[in-house]
Chains A and B, each alone.
Chain A
Amino acid sequence: MKDQNNKITSELSRELNLFHITMMGLGMMIGAGIFIGVGNSISYAGPGGVVLTFTLNGLLAIFTAMSYAELSSAIPKAGGAYNFARIGFGKGTSFIAGWMEWFASSLAGSLYAVTFSEYVVRFFDDLNLLNWYKVNFMALEKLTNKFLYNLGILKYYISSPELVEIYNIDELILFEKIVAILIAVIFLYINFRGASETGKIGALFTFGQILFLVIIGLVGIIVTVIDPERLNNFKPFMPNGWIKLLATMGLTYVAFEGYEVIAQAGDETINPKKNLPKAILLSVLIVTLIYVSVAFTTVVSVKMGKQGVNIPVWQWISQYKQEGFGEAISKLMPYKNLGNIIVTLAVICASTSALNATIYSATRSSYALGRDRMLPKSFSKISRKNKTPYIALLSTGIIIICVALLPTHHVAASASFMFLCLFFLVNICVIKIRRDMGDELHYGFLIPLFPLFPILAIILQPLLIFELREVSKISWIIAPSWLIIGFIVYFIYSKKRIIPSEDEIHILEEEKATSGDSNYHIMVSVSNPKNVYNLVTNTYKICKAKNAKVELLHMVPVPIQVTLHDAEKYILEGKEGIVEAMLYLAPLFPLSTTIRYCRNIARGIVNAIKEKKIDMLIMGWHGKSKKYWYSLGSTIDPVIERSPCNVVIMKDCANKKFKNILVPISGGPNSIFALEIANIILDKKEGKITALTVNNENHQFDLKKFIEKQKERLNLSSKTLKSNTIISNDTVNSILEEANNYDIIILGSTYKNFIFQMTGNTIPEKIAKKYEKPLIMVKSVRKKLRDFLNTK
């Protein structure tokens, strides 16, 4: 993606590896499907049926997952089903795919919001913390319930009159809906601010959820081995017959849709041709094994005749419907309240992270439709401040909130309906694309026994959709209505206005960066147009000394709602200054200039260093950290910690001649590197370097011996390099007092990880924050054990 006229290269920062994208998919899947699916399914399919539901759904999911794996390995670009449909069939089908993707993700978002509210409200109600609400707002609840009852809607909420009396289920319907809407609004706002974090932090979060479910699965197996009589809970195995299995499979299919989000992460994945199909397949395998074991544990969690369960266990669980999982699992714990807390916390974590993921996934879909003018242009409008597509987000929010008012299992069924339609289309696409372009596309993975598995999925998916009418007739109104509206919108509006999008597979012709003659590579990360010139001028002093090749890099953070691929068109607004500065410098200095799109600036810089095998990174620093828990700043701190190269941070180092340089020395590798940098920027005619150390009872360092060694290494005379030892207990203030007599101070950073640094600033950071004059902070790369082993 090189612009020959402007001499600026633009790049996408690929930050996610196999682990991250697998976790991303798993996080989306383990959102609510399993928590609400078990309780709902068991009432239709029975105890054996609930385990088979998740097993057979896993089988069906792996068929479609293979289609996704093949297509995303051949077309590893953001867009998922929308993109595949465009390549396979053209604009009409791609509109329908995007339209379905938008609605399906929004429905899933609603489902997660509703699941969150149901479990949280149940938890607080169990602890009698909602009495204030019952006392003050009972009249309103009753009025609402009466109104809903008269409309015939309430019967979907309450399974039997006994439950009304025993568990007061009817009392909190309105409250649950208010909580669901509140949580949806909170996450819509978070998405609007563009502060959502994906990838690495999300991966750790999901890992915790998986661990929780794996432990539940193992506990179920262990209690069954200890007490095999619990297997009697599986009698009768299929009380309502085998045909109900298709209905429950349809209902819980939403729990397997997360691999779709992996296919959308093509732009951000390292080695996407290899990692995308692997992550898609692995996520389905892992999630199936987890779901089957969790469904099994739910059935064997209690014994009939004990713990207040006097009816067959499957009937007891099905009384609670979507909350059946929580009720059953909490019986496994030694204390019911402890069980409730653990289950509720797990549901909160799972549903909120999945809600966040579905909101940005749905927003991306509607944004893409707006971008290609299939929906009004306003859908692709980006907020100037937050760089998020606010109209697309707002419209997604409206859908989520409206659907959240429906009973949970109708929301789940509608979401499943939509995803089944979408995956049906993808399975057709994989056959069409293989037939039309099989010999031309660069596949990283091909489905074995093609086209057996896509055809099996194409046959089974409509069957599940058909049987969904058994569990939710409303889903058969909602989903087809959305499709009909979609067709009307397409033929009346979109068909005439559609813009043929750019080449979907231009990634095939992407240029590789050419390597220069020099072996030493310096990268200068620039963000502020005002100090770019000074930064580059000082860099060139270092370049001359190192005979290095220089690359000027500007990182552009892109909110998660916009694909990195689209960022080039929309996100540069407001960045004209820095682009102009880079263009101005390009002819003056022999350097290459790059704009790189990323999700997080620090991660993007570290990735660029790794990809380009950079030897030294140079950055500017404005002098203050806006957030108190960072030493030098939210970008510089993680860059210093994680960069696998030498780092030089410059503050106020305009194009000056430095005659008096102070280098505080503690004796580590950073001190040696600091002296090296001091020697490079020193005014060669009359400049002097003073090495300073502060000794006290706790710190004794032989500076003279150290200086003698460095003089030889750096070829410095005794006149140029002097030493000064101070005895003081207040190291920071002693250095600061001494530094007032010098033009610049060069400090070595400390080797402490980010978490440790949060506990308090280290000496160099304290000095850096207080010192008003020009300053340079350096960190030399640490040799790892394997580097030493590889050295011959």
Chain B
Amino acid sequence: MYFYFIYIDRYIDKCQYHLITFFIFIFMDFNTIIGLIILFFSIFIITFLTIISISRINKISKFNPSNAREIKRKIHERSK
């Protein structure tokens, strides 16, 4: 039991040490704070846009088959 408590005690010490290092790391440098905000915000935006975009795929249909010839004509005109 004694050794068990020692183990827990050391573990808590180690955790605190980790947390303190982590927070010191963040609050020491202004550039770091801005950098981290940009980092997480960008990753969030990329993920969000990907998920939203994929969920929109195939839900949109503006197509009117009768217009196919008209599109062809336009493309031909541009190519000449």
Judge whether B42 and A278 touch: CB under 8 Å: no
A575 within 8 A of B: no
Beta-carbon contacts of B16-41 to A below 8 Å, as 1s and 0s? Answer: 00100110010011011001001100
B8 within 8 A of A: no
Asked whether A236 and B46 contact (CB < 8 A) given A443-B62, A505-B71, the answer is no
CB distance from B16 to the nearest CB of A (A): 11
Give the docked Cα–Cα distance between A89 and B61 (Å).
24
Judge whether B29 and A52 touch: CB under 8 Å: no
Asked whether A443 and B63 contact (CB < 8 A) given A91-B78, A281-B54, A505-B72, the answer is yes
Asked whether A508 and B43 contact (CB < 8 A) given A73-B57, A91-B78, A228-B21, the answer is no
For this complex, into which size category does the number of interface residues on chain A fall? 35 or more
Judge whether B18 and A86 touch: CB under 8 Å: no
Judge whether A235 and B21 touch: CB under 8 Å: no
Judge whether B18 and A228 touch: CB under 8 Å: yes
> Which of B29-80 touch A at CB < 8 Å?
29, 31-32, 35, 38-39, 42-43, 45-47, 49-50, 52-54, 56-58, 60-65, 67-68, 70-72, 74-76, 78-80
Judge whether B56 and A86 touch: CB under 8 Å: no
Give the docked Cα–Cα distance between A238 and B34 (Å).
11
For this complex, into which size category does the number of interface residues on chain B fall? 35 or more
- Stretch touching chain B among A58-66, A203-211, A304-312, A348-356: A58-66
CB distance from B45 to the nearest CB of A (A): 6
Contacts of B32 in A (CB 8 A): 48, 234-235, 237
Asked whether A505 and B75 contact (CB < 8 A) given A235-B28, A237-B35, the answer is yes
Judge whether A86 and B75 touch: CB under 8 Å: yes
Beta-carbon contacts of A568-596 to B below 8 Å, as 1s and 0s? Answer: 00000000000000000000000000000
Give the docked Cα–Cα distance between A508 and B47 (Å).
32
CB within 8 A of B53: which of A232, A441, A448, A503?
Answer: A448
CB within 8 A of B47: which of A69, A273, A277, A285?
Answer: A285
Judge whether B80 and A500 touch: CB under 8 Å: yes
Contacts of A289 in B (CB 8 A): 43
Give the docked Cα–Cα distance between A69 and B53 (Å).
9
Contacts of A89 in B (CB 8 A): 78
CB within 8 A of B64: which of A232, A274, A288, A440?
Answer: A440
Give the docked Cα–Cα distance between A445 and B68 (Å).
18
Contacts of B56 in A (CB 8 A): 445-446, 448
Asked whether A90 and B79 contact (CB < 8 A) given A231-B22, A236-B31, the answer is yes
Judge whether B63 and A441 touch: CB under 8 Å: yes
CB within 8 A of A231: which of B25, B38, B54, B75?
Answer: B25
Judge whether A282 and B70 touch: CB under 8 Å: no
Give the docked Cα–Cα distance between A252 and B59 (Å).
35
CB distance from B26 to the nearest CB of A (A): 9
Closest to B53 in A: A281
Closest to B45 in A: A59
Closest to A509 in B: B68
Give the number of residue pairs across the A-B interface with Cβ within 8 Å: 146
Give the docked Cα–Cα distance between A288 and B45 (Å).
12
> Which of A255-312 touch B at CB < 8 Å?
273-274, 277-278, 281-282, 284-285, 288-289, 292
Give the docked Cα–Cα distance between A28 and B23 (Å).
39
Contacts of A234 in B (CB 8 A): 25, 32
CB distance from A481 to the nearest CB of B (A): 28
Judge whether A282 and B29 touch: CB under 8 Å: no
A385 within 8 A of B: no
Beta-carbon contacts of A83-100 to B below 8 Å, as 1s and 0s? Answer: 000110111000000000
Asked whether A87 and B43 contact (CB < 8 A) given A231-B25, A440-B64, A500-B80, the answer is no
> Which of A440-457 touch B at CB < 8 Å?
440-448, 453
CB within 8 A of B57: which of A56, A237, A444?
Answer: A444
A229 within 8 A of B: yes
Give the docked Cα–Cα distance between A509 and B66 (Å).
10
Closest to B18 in A: A228
CB distance from A601 to the nearest CB of B (A): 32
CB within 8 A of A442: which of B29, B31, B46, B61?
Answer: B61
Judge whether B64 and A278 touch: CB under 8 Å: no
Judge whether B78 and A86 touch: CB under 8 Å: yes
Judge whether A504 and B21 touch: CB under 8 Å: no
Contacts of B57 in A (CB 8 A): 73, 274, 277-278, 444-445
- Most chain A beta carbons < 10 A, residue from B28, B43, B46, B70: B46
Judge whether B68 and A274 touch: CB under 8 Å: no
A705 within 8 A of B: no
Contacts of A278 in B (CB 8 A): 54, 57
Contacts of A55 in B (CB 8 A): 38-39, 42-43
Contacts of B50 in A (CB 8 A): 62, 281-282, 284-285
Beta-carbon contacts of A229-254 to B below 8 Å, as 1s and 0s? Answer: 10110111110001000000000000
A439 within 8 A of B: yes
Contacts of A282 in B (CB 8 A): 50, 54
Closest to B33 in A: A237
Contacts of B43 in A (CB 8 A): 55, 58, 288-289, 292
Give the docked Cα–Cα distance between A52 and B32 (Å).
11
CB distance from A455 to the nearest CB of B (A): 15
Judge whether A292 and B39 touch: CB under 8 Å: yes
Contacts of A627 in B (CB 8 A): none
Give the docked Cα–Cα distance between A186 and B61 (Å).
47
Give the docked Cα–Cα distance between A58 and B38 (Å).
12
CB within 8 A of A51: which of B29, B39, B49?
Answer: B39
Contacts of A453 in B (CB 8 A): 49
CB distance from B42 to the nearest CB of A (A): 5
Give the docked Cα–Cα distance between A758 and B71 (Å).
52
A667 within 8 A of B: no
Contacts of A438 in B (CB 8 A): 62
Give the docked Cα–Cα distance between A505 and B58 (Å).
18
Contacts of A52 in B (CB 8 A): 35, 38-39
Closest to A89 in B: B78
CB distance from A245 to the nearest CB of B (A): 9
CB distance from A314 to the nearest CB of B (A): 14
Give the docked Cα–Cα distance between A229 and B22 (Å).
8
A783 within 8 A of B: no
Give the docked Cα–Cα distance between A402 and B57 (Å).
43
Asked whether A503 and B72 contact (CB < 8 A) given A86-B79, A238-B31, A445-B53, the answer is yes
A436 within 8 A of B: yes
Judge whether A238 and B63 touch: CB under 8 Å: no
A501 within 8 A of B: yes
> Which of A4-59 touch B at CB < 8 Å?
48, 51-52, 55-56, 58-59
CB distance from A67 to the nearest CB of B (A): 11
Contacts of B61 in A (CB 8 A): 442-443
Contacts of B46 in A (CB 8 A): 58-59, 62, 284-285, 288
Give the docked Cα–Cα distance between A234 and B80 (Å).
57
Give the docked Cα–Cα distance between A232 and B21 (Å).
9
Judge whether B60 and A87 touch: CB under 8 Å: no
Offer 5 A-B interface pairs, CB within 8 angstroms, sorted by A: A55-B42, A235-B29, A285-B46, A443-B60, A443-B63
- Interface residues of B, Cβ cutoff 8 Å to A: 18, 21-22, 25, 28-29, 31-32, 35, 38-39, 42-43, 45-47, 49-50, 52-54, 56-58, 60-65, 67-68, 70-72, 74-76, 78-80
What 6 A-B pairs come out closest when comparing CB atoms? A442-B63, A90-B78, A500-B79, A440-B67, A237-B31, A285-B50
Name 14 extra pairs, CB < 8 A, besides A56-B42, A442-B62.
A52-B38, A52-B39, A55-B43, A58-B42, A89-B78, A90-B79, A228-B18, A228-B21, A237-B31, A278-B57, A282-B54, A440-B70, A442-B63, A503-B76
